[in-house]
Chains A and B, each alone.
Chain A
């Protein structure tokens, strides 16, 4: 099947030419790249917003912006990063591109729906971001839209809510598409338990997307109804219950964390065996833990509300369930470590990312245990500790997984190799910057610095300087990584079919793959 003469997906000429040939293409690979470009664009915006916040925090008092601007910026940073980047991130980019190839299919089950998902994504992004440019103040609720402030504030919350609703739709359609694809389009002989682990992680993710996202959809609509119709569900002045809003919000938004992290774990489960030259240790355990995380993760949302005034029964139940969900995550970690054990490890760029993922994910996970215990949570709630924890998980976990994946599959996507020394340099600077940025925030949180404030007492100054300094290092690393990848996509040397010696199906097709991936659907023995 090597060196096919058929046109590859990058050069293929369809019904439309040029840009139209991309934005109206139903080829899952082109849609994956559409997502890549749009998500990366928003990511750069979101990262720069984060940088602005760290700039503000470099000294106590007003540095570059007023308190109100700071509120607007952390809201926008949150909405962009969560709804536009980490939720669609890995499934929509790497999943779209590689899920069909890895299970031996020519495309996803609903190619047109796949394209519609991307259009909805763009529409949702435009609507959500329009809140910044309309008359009136930018939203200042935080990405959580907590009631009753979200319908009392005069800022433009409405477009942000509707945008998030549309983005949810896009996410649901991707989820439906992936589940049906995996049920119906696996190549002959690929039984469920022969499916690679990245598709498996997408399977778990897709079910969460299908079963959790509608809850946030209806909840956001209810907040819209509160604002427009004064309907009263969450308004204490009308007998409503604001804590109920928090329940509904986190019923989605906690599982959403698993929408983010599961695909990332899937990428790591592909990268580590390839570069350790070993089969993954305990394939079945990894599969089962994926499904367990998806299921148990559905019932732990209350740990975001430990100080919201829940009943004691709830407190105990949610704390217990939170500790429970740590077990399957730990199982995965042990499996990855056991895969490394006695493997012949080759340290290439994707492997650097994967190994640093393990390190950062472990810190993130263990700090999550600290937050999951009731007594500690009361002390740490709404402090910088929480911010550090979820950036270790959501940015460390998802970001490092994503960059591992993009460096792993880059040769397949673009058919070219990237400059490894620049990529490694970028990784090292990014990694150092990441730790310098977020590690001090654990300390700041424990000593009592609250999150979401543009100001702080002088005692917190030294650690904040270190942290802000780290932000600049990290952004520098990010710039190197992105510039290196963009340059290499155009000018890098041609890649072979399987530059890393990977075993899964995507390494058997040409780089870049032909339009329908396979000349002949492979048979799995």
Chain B
């Protein structure tokens, strides 16, 4: 192999902190959705899920430490998915 770039070894501690953060976020989302916020509760629940997956992507899946190209690809894929969903919704929710 030509490439001998060392991989960054993430410490157990970092993973531990992220794990605790993820669990706390899970509890928050449970408690928040127990309160009646009507339409807002889906927004909150999905935003928290979004933050959680961002943590998993960046730390557990190493996007933060890897080449930028991977982050770009993931962002691109998520963008395509979002756009497809928006364009589909033009047929269901429209002015």
Among residues of B, the one whose C-beta sits closest to the C-beta of A241 is: B92
Chain B nearest CB from A255 CB (Å) reads 10
Q: Which of A211, A243, A251, A313 contacts B90 (CB 8 A)?
A: A313
Within 8 A of B (CB), among A302-346: 302, 310-314, 317
Q: Which of B80, B83, B84, B91 contacts A314 (CB 8 A)?
A: B91
Among residues of B, the one whose C-beta sits closest to the C-beta of A300 is: B87
A299 contacts B by Cβ under 8 Å: yes
Q: How far is the CA of A317 from the CA of B89 in the complex (A)?
A: 11
A314 and B77 within 8 A (CB)? no
Among residues of B, the one whose C-beta sits closest to the C-beta of A316 is: B90
Q: In the complex, what residues of B have CB within 8 A of residue A247's CB?
A: 88, 91
Q: In the complex, what residues of A have CB within 8 A of residue B91's CB?
A: 243, 247, 302, 310-311, 313-314
Chain A interface mostly: helix
Interface residues on A, range: 10 to 19
Q: How far is the CA of A211 from the CA of B76 in the complex (A)?
A: 10
Q: A247-B88, A299-B87 are in contact. Are A313 and B80 (CB under 8 A)?
A: no
Within 8 A of A (CB), among B62-95: 77, 80, 83-84, 87-88, 90-92, 94-95
Chain A nearest CB from B81 CB (Å) reads 9
Q: How far is the CA of A251 from the CA of B87 in the complex (A)?
A: 10
A-B pairs with CB below 8 Å: how many?
A: 31
B94 and A251 within 8 A (CB)? no
Chain B nearest CB from A254 CB (Å) reads 11
Q: How far is the CA of A243 from the CA of B83 in the complex (A)?
A: 19
Q: How far is the CA of A247 from the CA of B86 in the complex (A)?
A: 12
Q: How far is the CA of A310 from the CA of B90 in the complex (A)?
A: 9
Q: How far is the CA of A312 from the CA of B90 in the complex (A)?
A: 9
Q: In the complex, what residues of A have CB within 8 A of residue B83's CB?
A: 298-299
Q: Which of A251, A311, A312, A317 contacts B84 (CB 8 A)?
A: A251
Q: A211-B77, A211-B80, A298-B80 are in contact. Are A313 and B87 (CB under 8 A)?
A: no
Among residues of A, the one whose C-beta sits closest to the C-beta of B92 is: A311
Q: How far is the CA of A313 from the CA of B77 in the complex (A)?
A: 25
Chain A nearest CB from B27 CB (Å) reads 32
Q: In the complex, what residues of B have CB within 8 A of residue A310's CB?
A: 91
Q: In the complex, what residues of A have CB within 8 A of residue B77's CB?
A: 211
Q: In the complex, what residues of B have CB within 8 A of residue A311's CB?
A: 90-92, 94
Among residues of B, the one whose C-beta sits closest to the C-beta of A211 is: B80
Give the top 8 A-B pairs by smallest Cβ distance, nearest first: A313-B94, A314-B91, A314-B90, A311-B94, A310-B91, A313-B90, A311-B91, A317-B90
With A299-B84, A299-B87, A313-B94 known, 4 other A-B pairs at CB within 8 A are A243-B91, A302-B87, A302-B91, A314-B90
Q: Mind listing 22 A-B residue pairs with CB under 8 Å?
A: A211-B80, A243-B91, A247-B88, A247-B91, A251-B84, A298-B84, A299-B83, A302-B91, A310-B91, A311-B92, A311-B94, A312-B94, A313-B90, A313-B91, A313-B94, A313-B95, A314-B87, A314-B90, A314-B91, A314-B94, A317-B87, A317-B90
